[in-house]
Amino acid sequence: MRLGTILYALWATGISGWFLYAAIVGTSPFATTSQTSRGAGIYGPTHK
């Protein structure tokens, strides 16, 4: 088996492991951890 294939298999295993960990602890790099009000934001439609 090529070294590149083995390295990719390790890469895929690492990603799968991270996915399992993130699923168990309920985390995501895109999720909100803690956030305060956006304050005086701008509201209203952005249509046109």
Q: How far is the CB of 4 from other proteins (least distance, A)?
A: 7
Rounded Cα–Cα distance for residues 16 and 21 (Å): 9
CB 9 within 8 A of CB 3: no
The CB-of-39 to other proteins minimum distance in angstroms stands at: 9
**If binding is defined by CB under 8 A, does position 2 make contact with other proteins?**
yes
Q: How many residues bind other proteins (CB under 8 A)?
A: 37
Q: Residue 22: which residues within 8 A CB-CB, separation 6 or more?
A: 28
Interface contacts to other proteins, rule CB under 8 A: 2, 4-5, 8-9, 11-13, 15-16, 18-20, 22-38, 41, 43-48
